[in-house]
Chain A
Amino acid sequence: MRDRLAIITASVAGVFMTVQYFLTAPAANTAYRTILSWMQVVFAFALVVGVIGVLRLNIERLGKRRSGWFYSAALVAGVAAMTILGFVGGTDRGTPFQWVFDHWQAPMQSTVFSLLAFYVASAAYRGFRARSGESTVLVIAALIVLLGRVPVGEWLSPVLPRTADWILNVPALAAKRAILIGVGLGMIATSLKVIAGLERTYLGGR
């Protein structure tokens, strides 16, 4: 019965949101705006649930000194520190909260993001091998786009940037569009399955 209630709620909400898209009636518009406000509230509480969940898990790991407890200590300390700084000092420019964000969080995250540069290089060395006709075309296109999109390519030859633009705007764009259309249709089908009650993964597989 509980599952049936959830499925009915999802179906009714889905049908309503679909129908109201085509209506200009003020009543439909009011209900639509109310639902949007509710989504914000529900998501905000979901964030709280998530934070409580991760704190519970890491405090337990810290308390029982399980493997990796040091990292749990760092996480709990970070959450506590930023919460206190935010509430006590505020989040305006020049506050300790902003200072920690600018000088700790942003550089740490940028550092992890910079791993991509190294991983792209190693993945390219490993993956771009001309073993067949198609892969040879791929390797040549990759070389042209790699060099054509940066000033060194313009310096080597003005043909490189023009060819790189053509590769991006014609064959690559065509392939992207095809994948986008396929993915879009897949999303439509999955959404309709949820509304029709056929797709129940959000109930946890029941």
Chain B
Amino acid sequence: MGTPRRWIFALVGLAAVAALVLKPGLPASVTQDTRSVYDLIESLDSGAVVMISFDHEASSLPEVGPLGAAIVDHCFRRGIGIIGLALFSEGTAAGYELLGRRASVFGRSYGSGWIYLGFRPQYTSAILGMGENIGDVFNLDYEGHAVTATALGSRVHSYNDIALVVSVADGSMPTYWVEYAQARYQVKIVAALTSVMVTSYLPYYESKQLAGIVAGLRGAAEYEQLLGHPAAGCRGMDAQSAIHALIAILIIAGNVQGWRIRRSRGHGEA
């Protein structure tokens, strides 16, 4: 490993730890994108049903976990029913654990306030199948009950009965939700993504194929501010600020060094 790389890695580690310890707490304004999603969920009737798909792996939990939690909190606070599922196998346990934990905080009982359908492989057929009949894809929920036997499950048969689908994702799954669910069944899709993915989904957002985008830890921090309950998202922004600033300094340092090398070569040739 080259020397500069070693120092760069050390500096990144130090910057993250220092920010988390010192907690500068720089304020972050709420962007229009996050506010739109908040307003969208706020505008739903209290008896509406939202489907939240945990399409992420355990690895991105530090980034999309707070985002998913904020959206779940908002839905539970408004009395909106949540149908959870996962189209990634690892998202299954993460989503079930999150919904169960937040439901107990808000006093929402399983079956009437929320249900969890579990995981299905082959996301294409799962997304398309739920547009026809959710029971065709999930006849039993994650806890082994017949979906139609639950109070919430008996009200929902397809996307027609769902006000909104939220895909909490760290990969391309929102694309498939747009291509299959939104294009074919016109269900509203909100993408809750990692920050790095947001530019790829802006085209879908601008063309209204996505009803909303919330991105990464920044989006989680903004959503927590709107809910009036700062949590993991707000705490993580300090570390993110520090590392972004460090990378900017490294880019400038790299260019200065490159300029000095080119200049000394120019003097040497002269």
Contact = CB atoms under 8 A, between A and B. Distances in A.
Contacts, number: 168
A120 B247 contact: yes
Given A37-B125, A39-B124, A117-B16, A143 B199 contact: no
A143 B128 CA distance: 42
A122 B1 CA distance: 11
B58 A110 contact: yes
B161 interface: no
A42 B255 CA distance: 53
A93 B100 contact: yes
Report, as a range, how many residues of chain A touch the other chain. 35 or more
Contacts of B93: 91, 97-98, 101-102
Interface in A95-150: 97-98, 101-102, 105-106, 109-110, 112-114, 117-118, 120-122, 124-126, 128-131, 139, 142-143, 146-147, 149-150
Interface stretch (A6-14, A57-65, A170-178, A192-200): A170-178
Contacts of A102: 93, 97
Contacts of A142: 251
B206 interface: yes
A150 B125 contact: no
B102 to A, nearest CB: 12
A92 interface: yes
A146 B59 CA distance: 23
Given A92-B143, A121-B9, A112 B59 contact: yes
Nearest to B200: A176
Counting chain B CB atoms within 10 Å of each CB, the highest count among A42, A121, A172, A180 belongs to: A121
Interface stretch (B25-33, B36-44, B73-81, B185-193): B25-33
B250 A125 contact: yes
Report, as a range, how many residues of chain B touch the other chain. 35 or more
A36 B254 contact: no
Contacts of B218: 149-150
A162 to B, nearest CB: 11
Given A117-B16, A118-B12, A173-B202, A37 B244 contact: no
A36 B26 CA distance: 50
Given A36-B129, A110-B61, A173-B206, A126 B12 contact: no
A150 B9 contact: no
A176 B26 CA distance: 31
B253 interface: yes
Given A128-B254, A150-B237, A121 B202 contact: no
B253 A125 contact: yes
Contacts of B9: 118, 121-122
Interface in B1-50: 4-5, 8-9, 11-13, 16, 26-29, 31
A25 interface: no
B120 interface: yes
Contacts of B29: 154, 161
A84 interface: no
Contact of A176 (B57, B90, B203): B203
Nearest to B234: A151
Interface of B: 4-5, 8-9, 11-13, 16, 26-29, 31, 57-62, 90, 93-94, 96-97, 100-101, 120-122, 124-126, 128-129, 132-133, 136-137, 142-143, 184, 195, 198-200, 202-203, 206, 218, 237, 240-248, 250-255, 258
Given A40-B122, A110-B62, 17 more contacts: A32-B132, A39-B124, A43-B121, A112-B59, A113-B60, A117-B12, A121-B12, A122-B4, A125-B4, A125-B251, A143-B251, A143-B252, A151-B237, A154-B26, A169-B202, A169-B206, A176-B199
Interface of A: 21, 29, 32-33, 35-37, 39-40, 42-44, 47, 91-93, 97-98, 101-102, 105-106, 109-110, 112-114, 117-118, 120-122, 124-126, 128-131, 139, 142-143, 146-147, 149-155, 161, 165, 168-169, 172-173, 176-177, 180
Q: Which 4 pairs across A and B sit closest by C-beta, in order of nearness?
A: A109-B59, A151-B26, A113-B59, A43-B122
